[in-house]
Structures are given as structure tokens and as C-alpha cells.
């Protein structure tokens, strides 16, 4: 198994790949372009929908369109990415903070976290949008919120803080309320940081390692069981897709990377895919 380029996007900061089973297409964002994108693997084509501000994460709404985490807050979008309504803006200062990673959970709610851009203190937050569109801050003490994913048995929520090189997990009760976080995996410094992630049907956690040039698969016990090189030094997030959810898609970045690195990694910013043996989980939609 190996990752190959399926779309030479050359994105500034590709993120949040999201498979739509109904249309057989992959949605993803370029945070810095900024743009919402739709890749059609059957035709090899990509549709780009420009946005008027940074867009960090999306989830499909069950009634159509999207919920999105953007620089100015949490928004509802129509099917063409046009803004319909801002739900909330819980972040302290959008001039130095924006929404980053996020996804819908099995209960139909949307989780999204922010990034504190100065990186001088853990001032980012993690929020949950319930189906009545109310927004609650669930966690703080984060610098860059990433890696949100949920175990197949709905027992755990995973979440990473990228600059801290750490992945946490939270126990979930029957209605999906998280308990105290605990350490899931601590990466050593200097060989990649945990960015976006996805969980497969066996409960293994796949993490894209930014500045690590690879995707790692971790067991439910938090042990690395496999590593897969990516043709970009900065993979950003992975998502399962395809008819049987056995295609692992990965976005990547080239924004802020030096000329020497881009010469060594010319596919930086592209969209990659690899066939895997264990399928992923269907991506829940936002029920609000």
C-alpha cells in the first residue's frame, strides 16, 4: 500500500477531507486560498468554490449544505458554499484565532476547535454545536486543536494538540458527553506532529503527521502499528472514502514551506490516496 497523487491541487493548506457517500465525491478545504473544494474521483475533476475568509473545517448537514468553522465563527452554508447564517463566534479574538479541525459526531452534533496563531500560550478552545444550534465550549488549554475522531463503539472521542505532539482521548457516556481527557499517545519532538485524523471500522486511529511526511495507524491502546510515507512533508488530515470506504484520502500543505523543502517535496499541497484493507466508518452528518 502506498499513497499516490490523485489531484495535483498544490493547495496552500489543504485540510478536512470529507467523503459524501450520496454523491461519491470528496469535499475538502484550502484554508489559506481560501476555498471549499469538491473532488470527483470518477472523473478526476475538482470544483473550487472560493470563500471570503479562512475556512478550517466542514461537515455535511443532513438537510443539505454544510456547517463550517471559519475565521469569523461557526456558519451554516448552502450546497454551493454560500453563507446562510452565523451560529456563533465563541473564540476570544478572531484577529489571532480561527476555527481549524472539526467533524460531526455519531449523535449528529458538530465539534470544532480553534488555533491560537501566535503559538505563545494554550489559548485555543474546543466547541460543540448541538442540533438546536446552541454552541458550548467543552475544552480549553489547547494551542492548535486537531485530530477529532470517534471510536466505532461511541466510547471514546480523540483529539490532538499539534504543537504539543500529543493525542488525547475522552471517555463518552451514553449521550456522548465527554469525561476527563487522558493521554492516548505522546510523539517525540522532531519527527512530525499529529494533525488531522480518522478512525477505521476496527477502532484504529489514523493520524497525519505534519512535518513528518507520513500517516501512522495507532491501535485502540495507543500503540503505533504501521506507518505509511506520504509524498509531502506536511500531510494534514486523512479521511476514508470510496464505495467500500477502503480508500484513504490525505490532504497536504505547501503554505509557509521553504524553497528547499518544496524542491525536495514538489507534490506538497496535493491530494493523495491509498487503498487500505480495513474500511473506514461512514461519516455522520450534522443533524441541526
Catalytic residues: 195
Short-list 212, 198, 213, 124, CA closest to 161: 124
Angle value at C-alpha 161, between 156 and 165, nearest 5 degrees: 105
Q: What is Dmax (Cα atoms) for the chain?
A: 50
Angle value at C-alpha 253, between 251 and 255, nearest 5 degrees: 155
Contact 228, 206 (CB under 8 A): no
Helix (H) or strand (E) holding 167: strand 166-171
Short-list 253, 248, 105, CA closest to 193: 253
Question: CB under 8 Å to 266, separation ≥6 — which residues?
Answer: none
Q: How far is CA 59 from CA 63, 67, 101, 218, in A?
A: 12, 5, 11, 24
CA distance 66 to 73: 14
Handedness of CA 151, 160, 114, 12 (dihedral sign): negative
Amino acid at each position: 500500500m502506498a499513497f499516490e497523487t490523485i489531484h495535483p491541487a498544490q493547495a496552500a493548506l489543504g485540510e478536512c477531507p470529507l467523503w459524501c457517500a450520496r454523491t461519491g465525491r470528496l469535499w475538502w478545504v484550502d484554508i489559506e486560498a481560501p476555498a471549499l473544494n469538491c473532488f470527483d474521483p470518477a472523473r478526476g475533476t475538482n470544483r473550487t468554490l472560493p470563500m471570503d475568509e479562512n475556512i478550517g473545517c466542514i461537515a455535511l448537514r443532513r438537510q443539505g449544505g454544510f456547517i463550517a468553522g471559519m475565521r469569523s465563527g461557526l456558519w451554516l452554508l448552502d450546497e454551493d458554499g454560500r453563507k446562510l447564517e452565523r451560529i456563533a463566534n465563541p473564540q476570544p479574538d478572531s484577529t489571532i484565532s480561527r476555527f481549524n479541525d472539526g467533524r460531526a459526531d455519531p449523535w449528529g452534533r458538530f465539534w470544532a476547535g480553534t488555533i491560537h496563531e501566535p503559538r505563545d500560550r494554550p489559548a485555543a478552545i474546543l466547541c460543540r454545536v448541538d442540533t438546536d444550534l446552541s454552541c458550548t465550549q467543552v475544552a480549553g488549554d489547547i494551542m492548535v486543536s486537531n485530530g477529532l475522531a470517534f471510536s466505532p463503539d461511541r466510547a471514546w472521542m480523540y483529539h490532538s494538540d499539534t504543537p504539543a505532539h500529543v493525542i488525547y482521548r475522552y471517555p463518552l457516556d451514553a449521550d456522548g458527553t465527554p469525561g476527563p481527557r487522558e493521554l492516548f499517545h505522546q510523539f517525540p519532538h522532531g519527527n512530525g506532529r499529529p494533525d488531522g485524523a480518522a478512525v477505521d471500522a476496527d477502532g484504529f486511529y489514523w493520524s497525519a503527521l505534519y512535518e513528518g511526511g507520513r500517516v501512522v495507524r495507532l491501535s485502540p491502546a495507543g500503540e503505533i502499528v504501521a506507518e505509511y510515507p506520504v509524498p509531502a512533508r506536511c500531510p494534514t488530515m486523512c479521511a476514508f472514502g470510496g464505495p467500500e470506504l477502503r480508500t484513504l484520502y490525505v490532504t497536504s500543505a505547501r503554505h509557509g514551506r521553504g524553497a528547499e523543502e518544496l524542491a525536495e517535496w514538489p507534490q506538497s499541497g496535493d491530494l493523495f490516496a491509498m487503498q487500505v484493507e480495513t474500511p473506514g466508518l461512514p461519516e455522520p452528518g450534522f443533524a441541526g
